[in-house]
Amino acid sequence: MTHVDGADPVSILIHEKLVGLTPNAPEYCIFRVHTLLRRVNEKAYDPQLLAIGPYHRDKDGLKLMEDHKLHYLQLLLRRRGETSVETYINAMRKLESRTRRCYAEPISLSTNEFVEMMLLDGCFIIELFRKFVMWDLIDQRDPIFQFSWMLYSLKRDLLLFENQIPFFVLTKLFEMTEVPNWQSNLIHLAVRFSQATLLPFECRIFESFHESFSDIEHLLALLYKFATPSIKSEDAEEKLISIPSATEIQEAGVKLKKLQSGSFFDIKFDNGVLEIPSLRIEDRSESVFRNLIAYEQYTQDNHFNYVTDYVTLMDYLINSPKDVELLRRRGIIENFLGDDEAVSTMFNKLVENVILSNFCYNKIFTDLNKHCSRRKNVWIANLRHKYFNSPWALISFLAAAFLLLLALAQTIFSIFSYIFPRN
């Protein structure tokens, strides 16, 4: 670049920055979670064992899995009768520029370091998926499959928003290392691996997924698209209104019921009955929810906010451990944490610093409020809240009612005695 003699140094500096500016429509699909989200629970976004991609590379506590990546590559080459990685390296070099453009932050790795990362991370993920389904590929000394806690931690780490590698890298390596006489594709393997014992809800069946590989940004995006409906609810609105808690709406006569079939996000309210699918809560649930919400916050498609909307609805229903207990007794929550207060705290913090848009349960909120505000239901709710919220309150109410009836009977008897005196 040439500069005019005597040009202002600040002008030159700004010009150089403008020349190197990223285009207006970047291809970013892998971001760092912004500070407002992170500070609520930073650990939910950080890997425990496995670093994938550049953001968490070389962090303390994650070095052990780097040796496993090399070991998995070695076993892959041995199985295929190959002695060199040159073919794979050449393929990754061709994808380097496109891969770098997927990360929202500049990556300081050199070309060789970046390409090595692509190969090792990609092959490790693919081989891990294959071994999970094809047990004959597992080395008997492989600690990942010897210790269940390692496998579960890896599943969690592979669904972290910051811990991703572009899906087209995985697709290329999967095609280059296909196992003979094995029909299952990469999407099937990824969903089977990630869904088992990790997601708190069921994914759609494989046959209902028709998007091409090019439409998938990374593994978290793949699981998100399997887990959520393909069409946005027509009830979605910008405005968000509040609703009473689960305990309060039950006091107003709403029946809480476990939804037996349908989509996980298909919550129904009809004729005084609120139906919600069963939700399994365990140690990793908060991390999964937070990273799915982070994906929704950064996706360019504003209609993808089902997880945020679902968690928001649960946040309104759950104000205390008492609400969790009620939902648990109704079969709506399966609490594997063992502590209702922990579940209550989790939901009350999940949507902190999260931006809501096009809330898809707005009609349900409106209908619930109408139901709870009817005069008869308000009277019933007040009666239940005052006199039926504890055994002693119920006993007191029954005693008062008995005394009232006794007094009424005595009054009636006195009136009849006056009207019809004995001869």
DSSP letter at 35 equals H
Angle, alpha carbons 323-327-332 (nearest 5°): 150
- Asked whether residue 130 falls in the same domain as residue 64, the answer is yes
Please tell me the predicted confidence (pLDDT) of residue 231.
Answer: 61
Cα separation, 376 vs 200, whole angstroms: 37
Domain housing 412: 380-419
Instruction: Provide the Cα torsion 83, 87, 93, 98; round to 10°.
Output: -120
Burial of 212 (0-12, 13-18, 19+ CB in 10 A): exposed
Instruction: Examine the domain organization and report whether 116 and 217 are in the same domain.
Output: yes
Residue 18 lies in a domain: no
CA gap 327, 321 in Å, rounded: 10
Q: Does residue 162 sit in the same domain as residue 38?
A: yes
User: Residue 164 region, left (φ>0) first, then alpha (ψ -120 to 50), else beta?
Assistant: beta
Average pLDDT over residues 239-259: 91
Query: pLDDT at position 295, please?
Result: 95
Q: In what order do the strands lie in the sheet with 255-259?
A: 255-259, 273-277, 268-270
Residue range 250-267: mean pLDDT, rounded? 88
What's the pLDDT at 97? Answer: 96
The pLDDT value given to residue 207? 46
222 & 255 share domain: no
The count of other CB atoms within 10 Å of the CB of residue 396 is 13
pLDDT at residue 330 tops 90? yes
pLDDT (tens digit per residue) in 272-320: 999 999 999 998 899 999 999 999 999 866 566 899 999 999 999 999 9
Alpha carbon 396 to its chain centroid, in Å, reads 46
Are both 279 and 350 inside the same structural domain? yes
Lookup result for tokens 């010897």? 146
Q: Is residue 9 part of a domain?
A: no
The pLDDT value recorded for residue 391 is 60
Statement: residue 214 has pLDDT above 50: yes
Q: Are residues 184 and 278 in the same domain?
A: no
The answer as to whether 20 is a domain residue is no
Say whether pLDDT at 217 is over 70: yes
CA dihedral angle for residue 111, residue 112, residue 118, residue 120, rounded to 10 degrees: -170
Shortest CA distance to 42 belongs to which of 319, 308, 286?
Answer: 286
202 lies in the same domain as 270: no
- What does the alpha-carbon distance between residue 362 and residue 241 come to, in Å, rounded to a whole number? 7
The residue among 215 and 330 whose pLDDT is bigger is: 330
4: confidence class by pLDDT, cuts 50, 70, 90: low
239 pLDDT band, cuts 50/70/90, is confident
Q: Which residue has the higher pLDDT, 225 or 402?
A: 225
Say what the pTM is: 0.84
Q: What pLDDT digit, counting tens, does each position of 12-69 carry? A: 888 888 886 666 556 899 999 999 999 999 999 999 999 999 999 989 889 889 999 9
Q: Is residue 16 part of a domain?
A: no
- Residue 170 lies inside a defined structural domain of this protein: yes
What is the number of domains present in the chain? 3
7 band by pLDDT with thresholds 50, 70 and 90: confident
Q: Which of 9-18, 322-331, 412-421 has the lowest mean pLDDT?
A: 412-421
Q: Looking at the structure, tell me whether residues 81 and 162 fall in a common domain.
A: yes
pLDDT digits (tens, 9 = 90+) for 126-172: 999 999 999 999 998 999 999 999 999 999 999 999 999 999 999 99
pLDDT digits (tens, 9 = 90+) for 80-116: 999 999 999 999 999 999 999 999 999 999 999 999 9
Does 136 map to a domain? yes
Choice among 180-184, 204-208, 380-384 with the minimum mean pLDDT? 204-208
Which tokens belong to 387? 């006199």
As a whole number, mean pLDDT of residues 398-411 equals 65
Q: In whole numbers, what is the pLDDT of the chain averaged over residues? A: 85
> How much of the chain exceeds pLDDT 90, in percent?
60
DSSP string, 259-313: E-SS-TT--EEETTEEEEE-EEE-TTHHHHHHHHHHHHHH-S-TT--HHHHHHHH
If asked whether residues 274 and 411 sit together in one domain, one would say no
293, 296, 51, 295: which is closest to 153 by C-alpha?
A: 51
Residue 208 pLDDT class (50, 70, 90 cuts): very low
Asked if residue 168 and residue 51 are part of one domain, the reply reads yes
DSSP 150-165: HHHHHHHHTT-TTS--
In Å, what is the CA distance from 417 to each residue of 111, 240, 407, 410, 413? 106, 63, 15, 10, 6
Confidence band for 416, pLDDT divided at 50, 70 and 90: low
Q: How far is it, in rounded angstroms, from Cα 149 to Cα 111?
A: 35
In sequence order, the 6+-apart residues with CB closer than 8 A to the CB of 315 are 347, 348, 350, 351
| Confidence category of residue 232, pLDDT binned at 50, 70, 90 | low
- Whole-number Å distance between alpha carbons of 224 and 2: 49
